[in-house]
């Protein structure tokens, strides 16, 4: 059935919030000697510049400013329980650092710098110490030769970039069953809420966790955090150090049988406070990351489709303003069918997007003809197809123009019958 024809049939009202109902507390579980494989990707955008350094084969220190960094990792981790903690020794089956310069031609050495760092990391390994509740207690980059202070600075920068990807392993769980209904907080320092810097991170933030219904033994866990962070030990703008409003959003799937996260996507947005903004650009950094457990590695660090979906940008904006004179009506009062399900558009198939719902605000004239449709929540990649379809829809005639919020559900190819 064509997408437009299905639009004419129905639209869906917003569904009520739901959460996990569990009888036992989920726990992280690693067996001694157990080997697991993971694909990780991170995009780090730094429009104000990320300082890079590298010592070339002739011993010359090369420095430049990067505007974006792309990290791809295939890693094989062996678990070794030590007391209440677990040590994960992770070798790098594939690692790639690439990026774009902040400005040309001054920073045209970026490709060579990243190529050199990638080559240096090939024999390296990562050691993660994870506590029983899922917190990361330490993260260490090993196997990289440290020659002098300059090479030590480079190694620390490499460690920071890799840590941005591996930080998705950290997911502390609640210890009471009821917390999986009402949500819980993280009181200790989180690896996720660290700035991309070698000078350390200080500040404060509020991190909260909520869950969704269990499906196929997978527990969805959502993480949000907001806070004010700064570099080094500075705590206020009077010290001359930038203060950054930082927001984290993350979705994860925790396998209750395996006792670990098997998929996770996260975005972190860091914007300067008004007092700290001195260059006209308030964006300090923006990070988009994803992690997925895999049975086998794909060639050349290629990403599984489901991982691509987790890194697809989403819209999460307030509903658009109503045109003058329009009233926003409840969809349930229109007497229309409660559900419509179109097939996934081609762009969604390419990204491997799952079944998902977009929220749109539709403006309708007195005869039921759509005059405007704007998607404001859901995957951006699907917004255009959704708006086009909604503009061709027919809504209930009320004798007066009105607006209505609708949910449009797109299903992945396997689910669209």
Residues 358 and 288 in one domain: no
Asked if residue 416 is part of any domain, the answer here is: no
Residues 253 and 364 in one domain: no
Q: What residue numbers bound the domain in which 234 lies? A: 35-311
Residues 332 and 353 in one domain: yes
Q: What is the pLDDT along the chain (417 residues), one digit of tens a residue?
A: 334 334 333 344 444 446 778 889 999 999 999 999 999 999 999 888 888 877 776 777 778 888 899 999 999 999 999 999 999 999 999 999 999 888 766 557 888 889 988 998 999 999 999 999 999 999 999 998 777 666 777 888 899 999 999 999 999 999 999 999 999 998 778 889 888 887 778 888 899 999 988 888 999 999 999 999 888 743 333 344 678 889 999 999 999 999 999 999 999 998 888 766 665 567 888 999 999 999 999 999 999 988 988 888 888 888 899 998 899 999 989 988 755 667 888 888 888 888 888 999 999 999 999 999 999 999 989 999 999 989 988 899 999 999 999 999 888 765 444
User: Parallel, antiparallel, or unpaired: how do β-strands 327-329 and 402-410 relate?
Assistant: parallel
Q: How many domains does the chain have?
A: 2
Sign of CA dihedral 109, 112, 116, 118: positive
Cα 183 to Cα 168: distance, rounded to the nearest angstrom = 19
Residues 245 and 324 in one domain: no
Distance of CA 250 to the CA centre of its chain: 5
Residues 246 and 322 in one domain: no
Cα 306 to Cα 268: distance, rounded to the nearest angstrom = 20
Which of 293, 311, 329 is the last residue in one of the domains? Answer: 311
Residues 152 and 13 in one domain: no
Asked if residue 47 is part of any domain, the answer here is: yes
Helix then strand then coil, % of the chain, to nearest 5: 20, 45, 40
Q: What residues have CB less than 8 Å from 293, skipping those under 6 apart?
A: 36, 37, 38, 260, 261, 262, 263
Q: CATH number, domain at 355?
A: 3.30.2420
The whole-model pTM stands at 0.80
222 touches 187 (CB < 8 A): no
Residues 241 and 280 in one domain: yes
Which of 311, 342, 374 is the last residue in one of the domains? Answer: 311
Which of 262, 279, 311 is the last residue in one of the domains? Answer: 311
Q: Where are the beta strands (DSSP E) in 5-84?
A: 35-55, 61-82
Q: CATH number, domain at 45?
A: 2.30.230
């Amino acid at each position: 059935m064509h997408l437009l024809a299905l639009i004419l049939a129905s639209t869906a009202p917003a569904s009520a919030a739901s959460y996990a109902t569990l009888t036992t507390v989920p726990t992280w579980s690693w067996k001694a000697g157990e080997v697991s494989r993971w694909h990780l990707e991170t995009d780090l955008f730094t429009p104000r510049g990320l300082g890079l350094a590298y010592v070339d084969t002739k011993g010359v220190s090369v420095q430049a400013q990067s505007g974006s960094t792309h990290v791809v990792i295939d890693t094989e981790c062996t678990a070794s329980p030590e007391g209440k903690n677990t040590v994960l020794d992770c070798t790098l089956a594939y690692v790639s650092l690439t990026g774009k310069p902040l400005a040309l031609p001054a920073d045209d050495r970026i490709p060579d710098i990243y190529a050199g760092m990638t080559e240096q990391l090939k024999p390296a390994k990562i050691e993660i110490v994870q506590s029983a509740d899922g917190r990361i207690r330490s993260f260490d980059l090993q196997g990289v030769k440290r020659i002098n202070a300059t090479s030590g600075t480079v190694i620390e920068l490499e460690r920071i970039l890799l840590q941005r990807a591996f930080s998705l392993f950290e997911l502390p769980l609640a210890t009471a069953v009821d917390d999986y209904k009402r949500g819980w907080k993280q009181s200790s320092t989180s690896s996720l809420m660290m700035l991309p810097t070698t000078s350390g991170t200080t500040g404060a933030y509020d991190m909260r966790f909520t869950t969704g219904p269990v499906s196929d033994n997978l527990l969805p866990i959502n993480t949000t955090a907001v806070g004010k962070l700064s570099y080094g030990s500075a705590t206020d703008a009077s010290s001359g150090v930038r203060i950054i409003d930082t927001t984290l959003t993350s979705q994860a799937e925790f396998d209750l049988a395996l006792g670990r996260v098997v998929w996770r996507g996260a975005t972190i947005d860091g914007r300067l406070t008004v007092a700290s903004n001195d260059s006209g650009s308030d964006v300090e950094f923006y990070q988009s990351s994803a992690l997925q457990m895999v049975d086998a590695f794909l060639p050349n660090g290629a990403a599984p489709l489901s991982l691509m979906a987790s890194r697809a940008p989403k819209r999460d904006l307030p509903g658009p303003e109503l045109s003058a004179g329009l009233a926003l009506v409840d969809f349930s009062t229109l007497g229309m069918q409660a559900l419509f399900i179109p097939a996934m558009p081609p762009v969604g198939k390419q990204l491997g997007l799952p079944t998902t719902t977009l929220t749109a605000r539709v403006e309708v004239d007195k005869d039921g003809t759509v005059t405007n449709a704007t998607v404001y929540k859901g995957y951006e990649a699907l917004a255009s197809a959704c708006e086009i379809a909604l503009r061709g829809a027919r809504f209930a005639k009320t004798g007066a123009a009105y607006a209505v919020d609708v949910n449009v559900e797109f299903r992945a190819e396997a689910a669209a019958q």
